[in-house]
């Protein structure tokens, strides 16, 4: 074995190496303070990720519905499903937990709206049908606009479908803050 400079024997050097209990307790105390400061930021980041990733999945589903309708030259329906294994659209209103893309009676694709991280959703439609022309219809009427609002904690994203069946994601909180600067008042945050 080798000796450290200033150590006469190995036995003395071993007893003087390592951390004392007080030093370890100080490190644990500082670490816990830093963790308590970082935890709210991590929750905020997770909520941001939850709404953004779910919004992106829904945009992809709507885009797929539109492109499949054009490609197949047949209507494709985007609708709410009762269960994950449903083979048809839900007939009653309710919370969108599962969705389907349907070509007549054939399921083209299916997905779910996750509820992890407290993610909730609201929408102003029960189903949309993309025609072979690529335009969205609701109850056989050309769609003016539709939205799906996703919310986790204080984070909100809106998946908007506007005339011409163009899909985009918006952040109403960002738009709301810009409006507040102009109006000087708090009018609430929503997707409508």
Predicted confidence (pLDDT) at residue 185 exceeds the cutoff of 70: no
Alpha carbon distance 90, 113 (integer Å):
15
Nearest-angstrom CA–CA distance, 32 and 24: 12
Q: What percent of the chain has pLDDT over 90?
A: 34
Most confident residue range from 114-123, 155-164, 182-191: 155-164
* pLDDT, averaged across the chain: 82
pLDDT in tens, 74-121: 999 999 999 999 999 888 877 888 999 999 999 999 998 887 667 788
**Confidence class for position 182, pLDDT limits 50, 70, 90:** very low
Cα separation, 134 vs 75, whole angstroms: 9
pLDDT at position 140 over 60: yes
CA distances (Å), origin 10, targets 2, 19, 20, 187: 8, 18, 19, 74
Question: Domain map of the chain by residue range?
Answer: 19-68+117-183
The model carries a pTM of: 0.73
pLDDT digits (tens, 9 = 90+) for 57-73: 999 999 999 999 999 99
How far is residue 90 from each of residues 98, 128, 159, 160, measured CA to CA in Å? 10, 12, 21, 22
């Amino acid at each position: 074995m080798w000796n450290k400079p200033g150590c006469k024997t190995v036995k003395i050097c071993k007893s003087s190496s390592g951390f004392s209990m007080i030093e370890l307790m100080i490190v644990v105390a500082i670490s816990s303070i830093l963790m308590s400061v970082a935890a709210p930021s991590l929750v905020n980041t997770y909520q941001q990720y939850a709404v953004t990733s779910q919004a992106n999945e829904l945009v992809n589903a709507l885009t797929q519905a539109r492109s499949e309708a054009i490609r197949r030259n047949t209507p494709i329906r985007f609708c709410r499903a009762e269960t994950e294994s449903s083979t048809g659209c839900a007939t009653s209103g309710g919370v969108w937990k599962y969705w389907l893309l349907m070509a007549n009676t054939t399921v083209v694709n299916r997905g779910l709206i996750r509820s992890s991280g407290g993610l909730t959703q609201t929408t102003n439609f029960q189903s949309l049908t993309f025609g072979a022309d690529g335009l969205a219809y609701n109850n056989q009427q050309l769609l003016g606009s539709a939205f799906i609002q996703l919310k986790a904690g204080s984070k909100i994203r809106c998946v908007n479908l506007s005339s011409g069946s163009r899909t985009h994601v918006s952040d109403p909180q960002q738009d709301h803050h810009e409006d507040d600067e102009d109006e000087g008042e708090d009018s609430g945050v929503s997707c409508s």
